Amino acid sequence: MKQLLFFGLFFLSYQLMWCGNPDRQGAAGAYELLMNPWARSAGLHSLTTAHIRGVEAMRLNVAGLSRINRTEVLLGHARYLEGTDIRMNALGISQKIGKNGAFGLSIMALDFGDIPVTTTALPEGTGATYSPNFFHLGLGYAHTFENKVSVGILFRGISESTADVSALGFAIDAGIQYVTGEKDNFKFGISLRNVGSKMSFNGEGLTYQAPNPDDGENLTIEIRSAPFEIPSVLNIGMSYDFWLQEDKQRLTLVGNFTSNSFSRDQLGAGIEYALNEQFMIRGGYKIDLDSKVVEDPKSIYSGLSAGMSIELPLNKDKDNKFGIDYAYRATQPFDGTHNLSLRISI
């Protein structure tokens, strides 16, 4: 059964690997689905398809959700594109079910701050403000077979709204991870994300009053919003752990290929160093593929990323842990994105 799942997803991934079309860049909507609110994986530029685990796996490869001990709670906050005043806030909970399964719930919301209301008559502002609401709710499940192969699936609801306009959508993520080696050194992962329904906006904000040519009374006319697709993504990643000084130190090399359905494909690599699994530093680099000329616009996240983590035991048995993660990602344009996460593993 696990072999069928593995090769089935791999075959699907191979068919979709080269489906990216940079000519469609900007044609999709709900691009917040590509944002990562979690600092540990953000420090490696979200290149962690192969070895991500726990709550963070619900954002990149849900198969890693089951690779936890018992319970994990994670809080995330990010200053997105420093200078825009946009914030990301996230909460995630994962719970072990039985010996090999895990269930998870994740919530993410964007905070745009207060935006002035302008009209054609008052282009400098009416004095009122509004704030869009972008909200995601994800429910995931993953199962590990004999500690070697993990598979997972996640269902995500998508909501975008203002006071008088809203859009609702639905997406599915699926993933698989394979682990092998004497100390589970080698890890391989595939994830297919954001496969779902088209979305369109509806509401009173898309209506206006116009006179009826027959009797002069006003008619309410509704403008139909064009539907848009969500940005599907395919990730294929590998990682390898080198254990040093009697397993007190770990050096992990990471590589990842990303196929974007509405932009250029990307290739990235990273490295992470861990001391006693309590102090970790990491860094990554990601590039756009098939950029024909220098003037071609690049993805927001191409270039360098870096991060660090401190994770301390809460009891003598080291079963319960508390961790703090920080990450910085260079962006084009603006002044980068800062991520901060707090985690409790019990």
> Is 0.85 topped by the overall pTM?
yes
DSSP classification of residue 70: S
Q: What pLDDT sits at residue 332? A: 82
Domain residue limits at 69: 2-345
- Is the per-residue pLDDT at 345 higher than 60? yes
- Is the per-residue pLDDT at 70 higher than 50? yes
Query: Which CATH number covers residue 205?
Result: 2.40.160.60
Number of domains observed in the structure of the chain: 1
Q: What pLDDT sits at residue 293? A: 47
Radius of gyration of the chain (CA): 22
pLDDT, average across residues 46-50:
97
pLDDT, average across residues 82-111:
95
Say what percent of the chain tops pLDDT 70.
90
Tokens of 204: 């009173």
* Calpha distance 114→132 (Å, rounded): 9
Residue 232, number of CB atoms within 10 A of its CB: 20
Q: Residue 239, exposed/middle/buried by CB under 10 A (0-12, 13-18, 19+)?
A: buried
| Residue labelled with tokens 């589970």 | 184
Higher pLDDT, 237 or 117: 237
pLDDT, average across residues 326-332:
93
Least confident of 116-120, 221-225, 256-260, 296-300: 296-300
> What's the pLDDT tens digit per position in 226-237?
899 999 999 999
> What's the pLDDT tens digit per position in 5-15?
444 555 454 44
* Calpha distance 337→83 (Å, rounded): 10
Least confident of 34-43, 44-53, 122-131, 181-190: 122-131
Q: What pLDDT sits at residue 215? A: 72
Tokens of 102: 């895990």
What is the sign of the dihedral through the CA atoms of 65, 71, 73 and 74?
negative
> What's the pLDDT tens digit per position in 234-279?
999 999 999 998 889 999 999 999 999 888 899 999 999 999 999 9
> What's the pLDDT tens digit per position in 155-198?
999 999 998 899 999 999 999 999 999 989 999 999 999 999 89
Confidence of residue 134 (pLDDT cuts 50, 70, 90): very high
* Calpha distance 116→126 (Å, rounded): 7
Mean pLDDT (the chain) is 89
Higher pLDDT, 207 or 35: 35
> What's the pLDDT tens digit per position in 278-299?
999 999 999 998 755 445 566 7
Q: What pLDDT sits at residue 28? A: 84
Q: What pLDDT sits at residue 17? A: 47
pLDDT, average across residues 28-37:
93
